[in-house]
């Protein structure tokens, strides 16, 4: 019997520690060879590892030029930026380049930010849309980092419209996470990557944002007495918890429970789903939310403040671009 020869190329995209990465790739090789043998081919497998290459002291060619990184950092080539609404992705879409296109209901555009390849996406509102869009980005773009940016309602009385929440952790409000955590990635809440949190803090400090206590640090008993905005103040930010709900919560007792049980600083409708998908895929993740309103304001009243919503959405995108620029300049520290 004559055998044909086929050259299979296996691309290593697993982001775990090296032993886990090699074990995962080896399992992929075995499956590929067995499949080829079953089809009557002899197989030769080549491993390529395009992501998270260690960066040494030598300069490395990257899109937009040659840049050097310090020892112990990882080169970041591709960043995915997911939002729910088009207004939240608009700052990226307006950077110029090919027209945004739709894939599986998600509006996508490839752009260059600080020399990095950035794929921005508006995936729709709600956790199901966010999870589907995050998985699409990971499968189609193989990003080194997944960022989520957009607007949210404040639960922390120290922050109001135009302030920013850096999501150190993301909490799911309408699920039994103890049961769900029996499956990969075995988490009941989802932390953002500490290295990305640090870059976001650096960016906000450089923009003269004042850091204030999050709800956990200050206690959850304090609450805004009236929805709306705080008195004018210098821009502020917190590093804290983002709560995700598929409901637009306005009831005071519900909001008090969210603050008390989860120590949440803001509430939105997508972040935790994207964080869970990223955690399962091993992709470093960060959520950045700008405050558009204080939780408790009826949804219908937001319709009359479209200009405010657009401005706060652009703020989140601008801060996210700043984080990307810092990634381009510094790389991502090895764990």
Q: What per-residue confidence (pLDDT) applies to 297?
A: 83
User: Do residue 226 and residue 326 come from a single domain?
Assistant: yes
**What is the arithmetic mean of pLDDT over 36-45?**
49
Structure-model confidence comparison of residues 214 and 10, the more confident one? 214
> Are 44 and 142 within one domain?
no
Residue 240 inside a domain? The answer is yes
Residue-number span of the structural domain to which 11 is assigned: 4-49
DSSP state of 161: T
pLDDT band at 305 (very low <50, low <70, confident <90, very high): confident
In a shared domain, residues 164 and 305: yes
| Together in a domain, 277 and 168 | yes
* DSSP SS3 for 80: strand
Question: CA–CA separation, 86 vs 313, rounded Å?
Answer: 10
pLDDT tens for 186-206 read 998 999 999 999 999 999 999
What pLDDT is recorded for position 34? 54
pTM of the complete model: 0.77
Q: Are 272 and 171 in contact (CB under 8 A)?
A: yes
Structural domain includes residue 102: no
- Say what the pLDDT of residue 220 is: 54
Res 213 pLDDT > 90: yes
Write the CB contacts of 163 (distance below 8 Å, at least 6 apart in sequence): 154, 209, 235, 236, 237, 238, 290, 291
Q: Within the chain, where are the H helices? A: 18-38, 86-93, 127-141, 177-180, 194-206, 215-218, 252-262, 271-281, 299-302, 306-330
> What is the 3 state secondary structure string of 12-52?
CCCCCCHHHHHHHHHHHHHHHHHHHHHCCEEEEEEEECCCC
Tens-digit pLDDT profile for residues 106-151: 999 999 999 999 999 999 999 999 999 999 999 999 999 999 999 9
Q: Is 43 part of a structural domain of the chain?
A: yes
Whole-angstrom distance, CA of residue 126 vs CA of residue 106: 13
The CATH code of the domain that includes 194 is: 3.40.50.1580
Residue 17: pLDDT band (50, 70, 90) is very low
In whole numbers, what is the pLDDT of the chain averaged over residues? 81
Rounded to whole angstroms, the Cα distance separating 286 from 245 reads 18
Of 331, 284, 328, 326, the residue nearest 116 (C-alpha): 328
Looking up tokens 């959520």, which residue turns up? 287
43/164 same-domain check: no
Q: Would you call 157 helix, strand, or coil by DSSP?
A: coil
Q: How many domains does the chain have?
A: 2
Residue 65 lies in a domain: no
The pLDDT score that the predictor gives to residue 230 is 58
Greater confidence (325 vs 4) lies with 325
């Amino acid at each position: 019997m004559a055998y044909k020869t086929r050259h299979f190329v296996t691309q290593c995209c697993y982001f775990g520690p090296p032993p886990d990465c090699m074990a995962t790739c080896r399992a992929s090789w075995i499956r590929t060879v067995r499949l080829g043998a079953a089809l009557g081919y002899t197989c030769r497998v080549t491993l390529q590892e395009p992501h998270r290459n260690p960066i040494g002291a030598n300069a490395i060619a990257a899109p937009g030029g040659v840049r050097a990184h310090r020892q112990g950092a990882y080169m970041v080539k591709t960043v995915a930026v997911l939002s729910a609404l088009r207004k939240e992705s608009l700052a990226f879409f307006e950077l110029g380049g090919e027209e945004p296109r739709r894939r599986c209901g998600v509006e996508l555009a490839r752009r260059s930010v600080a020399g990095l390849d950035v794929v921005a996406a508006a995936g729709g509102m709600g956790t199901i849309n966010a999870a589907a869009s995050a998985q699409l980005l990971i499968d189609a773009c193989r990003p080194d980092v997944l960022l989520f940016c957009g607007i949210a309602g404040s639960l922390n009385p120290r922050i109001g419209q135009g302030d920013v929440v850096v999501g150190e952790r993301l909490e799911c409000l309408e699920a039994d996470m103890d049961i769900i955590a029996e499956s990969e990635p075995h988490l009941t809440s989802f932390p953002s990557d500490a290295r990305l949190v640090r870059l976001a803090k650096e960016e906000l400090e450089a923009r003269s944002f004042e850091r204030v206590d999050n709800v956990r640090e200050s206690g959850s008993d304090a609450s805004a007495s009236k929805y709306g905005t705080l008195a004018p103040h210098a821009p502020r930010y917190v590093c804290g918890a983002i709560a995700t709900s598929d409901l637009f919560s306005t009831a005071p007792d519900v909001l008090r429970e969210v603050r008390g049980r989860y120590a949440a600083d803001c509430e939105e409708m997508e972040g935790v789903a994207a964080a869970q998908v990223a955690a399962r895929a091993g992709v470093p993740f960060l959520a950045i939310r700008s405050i558009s309103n204080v939780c408790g304001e009826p949804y219908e009243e937001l319709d009359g403040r479209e200009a405010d919503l657009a401005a706060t959405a652009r703020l989140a995108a601008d801060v996210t671009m700043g984080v990307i620029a810092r990634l381009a300049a510094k790389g991502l520290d090895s764990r």
